[in-house]
């Protein structure tokens, strides 16, 4: 069964916001066995919305629309859908009661525009939006389903999880789709492909392999499609195992989870703790870790020692080291990592010091020079990286390299 | 002049990656006076790519395609485009030399698949990709332009900035587009709309107003389209000024820059410094600040005091305060902020302590309870926020509220 996603809003087309909704929806639909054929972003324009919807209905059976349901004048989705499906508008009593209680609960007065949020096309099924005032609307036409949801991410997510996907599952006999992802580091895309060429050629036609390079690492994704989820998982696992043993030493994680989530899981399993000492990554590693619920069991905290004085006062890096080798040096990285382990009382610590750019280069240390050190019960290791000239990319690649190094040291510490 | 963006890759449709390229491209095109009509994401499938391209060519004159140019089997874009434009393939000597030197420089051996990156449709103009091995290809057909670029963000960005946009500007007489954004906080979307209803009604038809709610704040965006950039800017400014004086007290920034960039700029202007003491935001505020080049002039660093012991050891929060009021309390937030100012020697510091969830709630302090304190030369202020039950959203809203509070205190300190 195919679905399409249409996101409505000029703010996406002019690049004011990044459309993160579609990726999330694509993932949830895939897990439910629904393949997304196309994602289309269109402007707040009735003719354009109608055109995109008509085209999508030719390709897919289920069309999920987000956006354009707010209370203001640029929000035209529901009127456009009413016209598209040749329906009038009616005021929905249940929605009105919900909107009223929503405003009452949050202790805010209600305006005429808020009342109009209860107006819906006469002929759609209204699904209440527990997290906001714009209702979700479900249209059916022949065998085709069109659902309009608010674009506010957490409102959409709740509706998808609790209402839309369960209804679609009930309605259609969905095929099984199974993805398996292997994260590798240290080998380029072409070299990976060359190393596993025979394994790739041996894949059955219902299993596809994709190479996804990102931040100096490459993800291998096997996607299988069939009828029996368990059988697909077992079959995919065989191919994944073959690839992993061929690539042993380059495999960082054998599942599609972020590096920092793998780190948290592995630390938790072994009752170990970690801290961070970040200079050029500026708190990004700590942020990645603390996005995840339950991280407090393994992460005590860290320091963002952007200025040299914090490297001394909080981490205990010696003034002599800073003066002799500089802030961006193996010696400073090592003292930062050791200092974090000592002062924050953790089993592991990672330290990153480098020149993210565009300023800060010194002779012999161009922008992109980054030292990463990991202190562990086994001692301290450090490694030099030479990334490129882009600040944001240097931060992201440094964080990925730091987390990979932590995972590798954690594995060594185990052996 | 209208453009469309087509992104190719199953990884977008299955939600494995978020399409950040399109937003960036949309923004750059808009600044150049090119409106994006539609963004379409399609799978690695020749028929689907061709269908999307044909549809886009009916709506827009310039089609920018990203993705599917890697060296592996799932990368089919250039072969699809060759078939679409009825061209054969040829090996491009300049590209081959570039690929060879690229591998030589990075000291890696070259494979047959890398050599094939120099194969291009016979009849397109090849634009060299300085940051990678997949060339950019420019096709013309009648008055229609189709450009294929790699999907790796920094490769695409360089090509857009240095090659594609300059060529489009040279080729077309582009209209002027001007956006003006005002960031407000403290008023919901409907209330803002009610307060400026008459001003919105008075807008001429070539200036559109949009309300963009995000993280408890609302951005007002005025978009003007015409012929003369300077005249549009002046005209838009008049309307923006009227709205800002109507909304005075709720306006946080009068330009479309991130909160933390406004903070950096204002601190730099006044030669002041800031530090951070983050508990539930886990380094996110420091990360936001350190994304920006030049932040080291104002940001000395901070601590991620996830564990209580770091609040004591690094920030000097008293054991008594922690025991008596708890980690999530006004008193702890105040001592964290004051501790940061003292220990990190900065003029300002912001401290955040709260319960991001899903765990950690205690009686009287549900998930989403967040205390934020700002220490400044004027003393210390603290404020309680009650956000919701979603961890990532609580972190983002806390950071937005903390930065807004810093900006407000900075303004007070000035007066």
B339 vs A: CB within 8 A: no
Residues A100, A55 share a domain: yes
Token output for A169: 């599952």
Quick one: pLDDT at residue A415? 60
B327 vs A: CB within 8 A: no
Residues B181, B285 share a domain: no
Q: Answer yes or no: do B302 and A300 touch at CB < 8 A.
A: no
Token output for A193: 């492909």
Contact A8, A49 (CB under 8 A): yes
Distance CA B391, CA B368 (A): 8
Distance CA B350, CA A263 (A): 29
Searching chain A, which residue's CA lies closest to the CA of residue B67? A212
The CATH code of the domain that includes A185 is 3.30.70.2860
Quick one: pLDDT at residue B212? 82
Q: Answer yes or no: do B303 and A301 touch at CB < 8 A.
A: yes
In degrees, rounded to 5, the angle at the alpha carbon of residue A15 between the alpha carbons of residues A11 and A18 is: 85
Q: Answer yes or no: do B23 and A12 touch at CB < 8 A.
A: yes
Residues A18, A163 share a domain: yes
How do residues B207-218 score in pLDDT, each as one tens digit? 989 888 888 889
Of A80-89, A325-334, A390-399, A406-415, which range is least confident?
A: A406-415
Q: What letters, b where the CB count within 10 A reaches 16 and e where it falls short, cover A344-353?
A: bebbbbbbbb
Look at residues B211, B235, B253 and tell me which one is the last residue of a structural domain: B253
A104 pLDDT more than 90: no
Write out residues 201-260 of A within 8 Å (CB-CB) of B: 208-214, 219, 221, 223, 256
Chain A: nearest CA to B126, how far in angstroms?
Answer: 22
Quick one: pLDDT at residue B415? 60
Dihedral Cα B244, B245, B248, B252, nearest 10 deg: 30
Token output for B234: 């002046």
Distance CA A5, CA A53 (A): 10
Quick one: pLDDT at residue A371? 98
Contact B24, A392 (CB under 8 A): no
Look at residues A130, A156, A171 and tell me which one is the last residue of a structural domain: A171
Residues A62, A139 share a domain: yes
B26 vs A: CB within 8 A: yes
Contact B117, B133 (CB under 8 A): yes
Write out residues 59-88 of A within 8 Å (CB-CB) of B: 70-74
In degrees, rounded to 5, the angle at the alpha carbon of residue A232 between the alpha carbons of residues A226 and A233 is: 150
Residues A245, A134 share a domain: no
The CATH code of the domain that includes A372 is 3.90.950.20
**Interface-testing mutation among B45, B62, B190, B260, with chain A (most A C-beta atoms within 10 A):** B190
Nearest to B134 by CA among B112, B151, B110: B151
B143 vs A: CB within 8 A: no
Q: What is the pLDDT along chain B (415 residues), one digit of tens a residue?
A: 899 999 999 889 988 889 999 999 999 998 888 999 999 999 999 999 999 999 999 999 999 999 988 877 778 999 999 999 999 999 999 999 999 988 887 777 888 888 999 999 999 999 999 888 899 999 999 889 999 999 988 899 999 999 999 999 999 988 888 889 999 988 888 899 999 999 999 999 999 898 888 888 899 999 898 989 899 999 999 999 999 999 988 999 998 889 999 999 999 999 999 999 999 999 999 999 999 999 999 999 999 999 999 999 999 999 999 999 999 999 999 999 999 999 999 999 999 999 999 999 999 999 999 999 999 998 999 999 999 878 998 999 999 999 999 999 998 877 6
Distance CA A16, CA A300 (A): 36
Q: Answer yes or no: do B314 and A310 touch at CB < 8 A.
A: no
| A-chain residues near B388 (CB < 8 A) | 154
Q: Answer yes or no: do A72 and B190 touch at CB < 8 A.
A: yes
A339's CB contacts (< 8 A; 6+ apart) are A277, A314, A315, A316, A317, A351
Distance CA B303, CA B166 (A): 44
Residues A274, A397 share a domain: yes
Instruction: Give residue A308's pLDDT band: very low, low, confident or very high (50, 70, 90).
Output: very high
Residues B248, B166 share a domain: no
The CATH code of the domain that includes A131 is 3.40.980.10
How do residues B316-365 score in pLDDT, each as one tens digit? 999 999 999 999 999 999 999 999 999 999 999 999 999 999 999 999 99
Exposed, middle or buried, B381 (CB in 10 Å: 0-12/13-18/19+)? Answer: middle
Beta bridge partners of A274: A299, A348
Mean pLDDT value across residues A74-85: 93
B271 vs A: CB within 8 A: no
Distance CA B315, CA B276 (A): 10
A35 vs B: CB within 8 A: yes
Beta bridge partners of A277: A303, A351
Q: Answer yes or no: do A22 and B16 touch at CB < 8 A.
A: no
Strand boundaries in B196-333, DSSP class E: 207-214, 217-226, 251-253, 274-278, 299-304
How do residues A355-403 score in pLDDT, each as one tens digit? 999 999 999 999 999 999 999 998 999 999 999 878 998 999 999 999 9
Distance CA A111, CA B17 (A): 39
Distance CA A3, CA B122 (A): 36
Domain extent for A406: 259-414
Nearest to A284 by CA among A399, A367, A402, A405: A399
A325 pLDDT more than 70: yes
A343: enclosing H helix or E strand: helix A330-344
Mean pLDDT value across residues A237-263: 94
Strands A136-141 and A125-127: antiparallel
Sign of the Cα torsion B289, B293, B299, B304 reads: positive
DSSP for A125-146? Answer: EEE--TTSSSPEEEEEETTEEE
Quick one: pLDDT at residue A71? 78
Token output for A296: 């407090």
Nearest to A70 by CA among A131, A108, A113, A31: A113
Mean pLDDT value across residues A328-333: 98
Write out residues 363-392 of B within 8 Å (CB-CB) of A: 388, 390-392
Residues B232, B162 share a domain: no
Distance CA B376, CA A183 (A): 45
Residues B161, B118 share a domain: yes
Residues A202, A147 share a domain: no
Chain A: nearest CA to B16, how far in angstroms?
Answer: 7
B114 vs A: CB within 8 A: yes
Residues B281, B243 share a domain: no
Give the CA distances from residue A364 to residues A280, A361, B326, in Å, rounded to whole numbers and listed in that order: 18, 8, 49
Look at residues B119, B137, B171 and tell me which one is the last residue of a structural domain: B171
Residues B48, B23 share a domain: yes
Token output for B264: 């950096």
Q: What is the ipTM of this complex?
A: 0.82
B408's CB contacts (< 8 A; 6+ apart) are B252
Query: Domain count of chain B?
Result: 3
Quick one: pLDDT at residue A215? 82
Contact A86, A123 (CB under 8 A): no
Q: Answer yes or no: do B211 and A70 touch at CB < 8 A.
A: yes
Query: Strand order in B207-214's β-sheet?
Result: B207-214, B217-226, B176-185, B251-253
Exposed, middle or buried, B106 (CB in 10 Å: 0-12/13-18/19+)? Answer: exposed
Calculate what percentage of chain A has a pLDDT beyond 70: 100
Token output for A90: 């009616």
Distance CA A176, CA B131 (A): 39
């Amino acid at each position: 069964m195919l679905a399409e996603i249409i996101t409505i809003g000029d703010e996406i087309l002019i690049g004011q916001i990044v459309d993160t909704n579609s990726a999330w929806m694509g993932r949830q639909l895939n897990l439910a066995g629904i393949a997304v054929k196309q994602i289309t972003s269109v402007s707040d324009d009735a003719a354009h919305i109608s055109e995109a919807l008509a085209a999508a209905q030719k390709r897919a059976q289920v069309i999920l629309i987000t956006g354009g349901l707010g209370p203001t004048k640029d929000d035209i989705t529901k009127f456009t859908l009413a016209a598209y499906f040749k329906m009038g508008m009616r005021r929905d009593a249940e929605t009105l009661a919900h909107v009223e209680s929503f405003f009452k609960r949050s202790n805010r007065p209600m305006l005429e525009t808020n009342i109009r949020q209860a107006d819906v096309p006469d002929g759609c099924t209204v699904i209440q939006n527990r997290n906001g005032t714009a209702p979700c609307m479900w249209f059916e036409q022949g065998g085709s389903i069109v659902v309009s949801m608010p674009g506010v991410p957490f409102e959409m997510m709740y509706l998808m999880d609790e209402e839309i996907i369960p209804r679609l599952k009930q309605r259609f006999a969905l095929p099984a789709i199974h993805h398996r992802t292997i994260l590798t580091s240290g080998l380029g895309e072409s070299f990976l492909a060359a190393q596993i060429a025979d394994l790739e050629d041996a894949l059955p036609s219902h299993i596809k392999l994709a190479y996804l390079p990102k931040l100096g690492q490459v993800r291998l994704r096997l996607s299988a499609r069939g009828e029996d989820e368990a059988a697909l998982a077992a079959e995919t696992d065989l191919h994944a195992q073959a690839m992993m043993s061929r690539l042993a030493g380059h495999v960082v994680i054998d599942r599609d989870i972020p590096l920092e989530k793998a780190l948290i899981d592995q630390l938790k399993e072994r009752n170990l703790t970690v801290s961070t000492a970040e200079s050029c990554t500026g708190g990004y590693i700590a942020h990645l870790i603390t996005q995840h619920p339950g991280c407090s069991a393994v992460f005590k905290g860290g320091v963002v020692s952007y200025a040299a004085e914090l490297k001394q006062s909080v981490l205990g890096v010696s003034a002599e080291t800073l003066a002799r080798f500089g802030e961006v040096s193996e010696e400073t990285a090592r003292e930062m990592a050791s200092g974090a382990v000592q002062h924050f009382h953790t089993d592991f610590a990672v330290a990153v010091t480098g020149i993210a750019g565009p300023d800060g280069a010194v002779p012999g240390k161009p922008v992109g020079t980054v030292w990463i050190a990991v202190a562990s019960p086994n001692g301290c290791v450090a490694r030099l990286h030479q990334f490129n000239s882009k600040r944001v990319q240097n931060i992201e690649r440094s964080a990925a390299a730091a987390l990979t190094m932590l995972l590798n040291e954690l594995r060594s510490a185990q052996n």
